[in-house]
Amino acid sequence: MADILITGGTIITMDPNRRVIDDGAIALEADRIVAVGPREEVELSHKSDRVIDAAKNVILPGLIDGHGHAGHALMKTIGHGPAGMWGDIVDYVYAEGTDEEFWYADALLSSVDRLKNGTTCGVTYFGGGTMIMRTDKPVYADNHCDAVNQVGVREFIAVGPSNPPYPRKYVSWSSGASESEMVGFDQYLKTSEEIINTWHDKGSGRIQVSIMSPVINPSRAPYKDMSAKDIKDQSKRARDLAYKYDLIFTQDGHDTGTVEFAHRELEILGPKCLLSHSTGLTEEEINICSETDTKIAHNPSSGNSYPSRCPVPELLDSGVTVALGSDGSGPDMNYDMFRHMYVCMRQHRGEQRDGTYMPPGKVLEMATIDAAHALGLEDQIGSLEVGKKADLILIDMNKPHLYPLNMPVHRVVGFANGQDVDTVIVDGQVLMRNRILTVIDEQAVLERSQNVTELMLKRTGLHSKLEIQPGFWGSSKYPV
């Protein structure tokens, strides 16, 4: 007896043969897929008391978001506009303006947002801006992981040191009172190790920890003021912490030369290294990624604002695994991976002035099986195959923008959006059905996030940054 039988939809399996099965069925037992194939075949061998009718639905593996940031869900566009303002505000708020509840409410909102958009596994850096990590104490990540667990999605939380200079000021808030502390590199690593011991692969197994380290360009601030020895020592210590627990090692950013530096000077690249953004790579750096089997998380929507491009077609042609990422939900991005798939196609075709680049099938691989490979989970998630985790989504195709019902992969990648996701199952648990969440009160999550944000604005005095900034209306560019 199967626990759940899903029947009648078009299944885009993403299995090694990339089978697409019309009028298919999938049987689930506990947290696993036990059958997937044509409906008549699966129905003969598997009965269930719980049948989900998937007629006029497309069934996909749960989407995987290769890169995002905690905190951004409550910051969104605060201070967005003139160059640098948003990042500076984010830095200040994350280090000095948040309490424990902020990180809990943010994780609830982000996880529900990802879930409702069909993302069942995501990478989340525990901070952002110019890379201010809230790893001064473990309590913030504890709250974050508690909330993610409560929603029921999978997550890789990336912890580690903030950008230099060290030590850096952090403020803890409790009942309106604050206490500040200077935090150095050792404390970041100690906190990160505590987070690993509490959360990595524990309990549900849905939360994994990874280690991030700031991206280093010795010729630019803040590194140009540091000694080469300090840069190397700190990078290698962060890398060694990842090695000690066999974790993914990750970095956020990059410009020309940083991959070469990370490889030759820091020796931090390799199969368990996932570099985000990776814009401005040289041909030599693409070769380094290929030779070391370093993985890339490409964030097309945010990447369009960077001075240089991420050479995705060249990376793919060199055999590099490229995952797709959202880059979180701020300042003007979002967690809808359908939008990022669309932007990914359009961006690279635009750059090449050639519509044959980035076929929808390849783009969907980047948000499913390739992303699973980048995270070392290709034998668990990323495709619908017998023995794999029961992480899948149903997309309601019975809508004008998705008709006619043919060419399902083209339709899903080019025309669907997160609002079309009807049902989400993670670990065999139905977390959303007919767009209604089953394990958590969505309205309560929204209200909690609103209240926490109001308190943060009051605490930091940033209400004025909600105002429209000069140059917003009537000009082609914000003033510099």
User: Which residues contact Zn ion (rule: CB under 5 A)?
Assistant: 252, 327
> Which two three-digit tokens encode residue 454?
């109001």
Q: DSSP secondary structure string, 333-380?
A: --S-HHHHHHHHHHHHHHHHT-TTSS-HHHHHHHTTHHHHHHTT-TTT
Least distance to Zn ion, CB of residue 319, Å: 25
Phi and psi at residue 427, to the nearest 5°: 55, 30
**Beta strand pairing call for 436-437 and 429-433:** antiparallel
Residue with smaller CB distance to Zn ion, 327 or 336: 327
Give the span between the Cα atoms of 40 and 24, in whole angstroms: 8
CA distance 206 to 154: 5
CB of 232 to Zn ion, least distance (A): 24
In the complex, minimum distance from the CB of residue 72 to Zn ion, in angstroms, rounded to a whole number: 9
Number of Cβ within 10 Å of residue 229's Cβ equals 8
**In the complex, least distance from residue 276 CB atom to Zn ion, rounded to whole angstroms:** 5
Least distance in Å: CB of 325 to Zn ion?
8
Quick one: 155 or 327, whose CB is closer to Zn ion? 327
Query: How many Å apart are CA 363 and CA 277, to the nearest integer?
Result: 16
Q: Where are the alpha helices (DSSP H) in 245-336?
A: 258-264, 283-292, 300-303, 312-317
Q: Which is nearer to Zn ion, 279 or 383 (CB)?
A: 279
Minimum distance of Zn ion from residue 437's CB (angstroms): 27
| Residue 327 or 365 having the CB closest to Zn ion | 327
Which residues make Cβ contacts (< 8 Å) with residue 229, sequence separation at least 6?
A: none
The smaller minimum CB distance to Zn ion, of residues 124 and 429, is found at 124
Output 143 or 279, the one with its CB closest to Zn ion: 279
When the beta carbons of 315 and 416 are compared against Zn ion, the nearer one is: 315
Shortest distance (Å) from residue 299 CB to Zn ion: 6
Minimum CB–partner distance for residue 151 and Zn ion (Å): 21
Q: Which residue lies nearer to Zn ion by CB, 113 or 327?
A: 327
Residues 184-193 as b or e (16 or more Cβ within 10 Å = b): ebebbbebbb
176: region left, alpha or beta (phi > 0 left; psi from -120 to 50 alpha): left
* 269 in Cβ contact with 235 (< 8 Å): no
